[in-house]
């Protein structure tokens, strides 16, 4: 019993230390807010570097009120950890979530990603009952072809959850990254073969706008 408690404590401390690695980015967001706090009822982009590096998000989604709070390298559990500081405080009308890619690349299981998403969903239901959530499908990349099957499994579980819960939506963006022959587009990534270039973001933006036009009413 003592050994189990010690192991649990060590794991908790390790996780706490890992989550604190994002603290500089979180504080930067808070500093921005102290200068100009975003109005309530906007669309919040919450997730990892796919959002953080989407520098043209406001232009690409012109006509929709956007707050971008992507923080690079984050996982679903990190978004849960900082929920009060970069999600709940904005009282958004809709949250677009992109997480899961880094989780799976760090050997988390699809089931673990799903469980963390459910924790996030419960936080929204409890603290932001009038907020809608759109989960952007975990996308493929040529750098992480080894986790494509895990991505598919995690996406499938989260999609099923969204279909069964009012106010939650699965945004299937990944399907637009494939050629007609079923191969992943080779020219939508920057040199690291993981993050998207302008062509990749153009595809992402088109799919996102299509979803928002259907689900977001100002």
Sequence-distant (≥ 6) Cβ neighbours of residue 155 within 8 angstroms: 100, 137, 138, 170, 174
The span from the CA of 38 to the CA of 16, in Å, is 28
Taking only the tens place, the pLDDT of each residue in 120-145 is 999 999 999 999 999 999 999 999 99
- Residue 167 backbone dihedrals phi, psi, to 5 degrees: 90, 0
pLDDT more than 70, % of the chain = 90
Residue 13 Ramachandran class (φ > 0 left, ψ -120 to 50 alpha, else beta): alpha
218 — pLDDT class (breaks 50, 70, 90): low
H helices present in 48-109, as ranges:
49-52, 57-60, 76-81, 83-86, 101-105
pLDDT more than 90, % of the chain = 85
Region 85-106 average pLDDT = 98
Q: What angle, rounded to 10 degrees, do the helices at 148-164 and 110-127 form? A: 30
User: Are 98 and 50 in contact, with CB atoms under 8 Å apart?
Assistant: yes
User: Are 47 and 99 in contact, with CB atoms under 8 Å apart?
Assistant: yes
Looking up tokens 């969204």 gives 162
Q: For residue 1, is pLDDT > 50?
A: yes
Region 106-112 average pLDDT = 97
Taking only the tens place, the pLDDT of each residue in 160-190 is 999 999 999 999 998 899 998 989 999 999 9
- Whole-angstrom CA distances from 160 to 10, 108, 164, 216 are 34, 20, 6, 21
User: Are 79 and 47 in contact, with CB atoms under 8 Å apart?
Assistant: yes
20 — pLDDT class (breaks 50, 70, 90): low
The span from the CA of 159 to the CA of 166, in Å, is 12
Region 154-159 average pLDDT = 98
The span from the CA of 125 to the CA of 130, in Å, is 8
Taking only the tens place, the pLDDT of each residue in 42-52 is 999 999 999 99
User: Are 102 and 147 in contact, with CB atoms under 8 Å apart?
Assistant: no
Higher-scoring residue by pLDDT: 172, 16: 172
């Amino acid at each position: 019993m003592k050994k189990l408690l010690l192991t649990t404590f060590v794991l908790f401390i390790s996780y706490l230390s890992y989550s604190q690695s994002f603290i500089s980015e979180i504080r930067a967001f808070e500093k921005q807010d102290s200068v100009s706090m975003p109005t309530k009822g906007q669309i919040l982009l919450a997730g990892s570097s796919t959002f953080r590096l989407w520098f043209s998000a406001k232009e690409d989604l012109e006509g929709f009120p956007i707050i971008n709070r992507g923080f690079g390298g984050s996982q679903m559990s990190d978004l849960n950890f900082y929920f009060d500081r970069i999600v709940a405080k904005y009282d958004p009308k809709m949250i677009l979530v992109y997480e899961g890619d880094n989780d799976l690349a760090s050997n988390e299981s699809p089931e673990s990603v799903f469980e963390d998403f459910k924790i996030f969903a419960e936080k929204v239901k409890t603290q932001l009952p009038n907020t809608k959530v759109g989960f952007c499908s975990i996308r493929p990349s040529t750098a992480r072809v080894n986790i494509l099957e895990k991505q598919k499994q995690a996406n499938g579980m989260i999609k099923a959850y969204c279909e069964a819960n009012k106010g939650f939506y699965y945004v299937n963006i990944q399907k637009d990254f494939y050629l007609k022959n079923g191969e992943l587009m080779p020219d939508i990534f920057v040199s690291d073969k993981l993050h998207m270039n302008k062509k990749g973001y153009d595809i992402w933006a088109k799919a996102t706008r299509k979803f928002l036009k259907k689900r977001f009413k100002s």
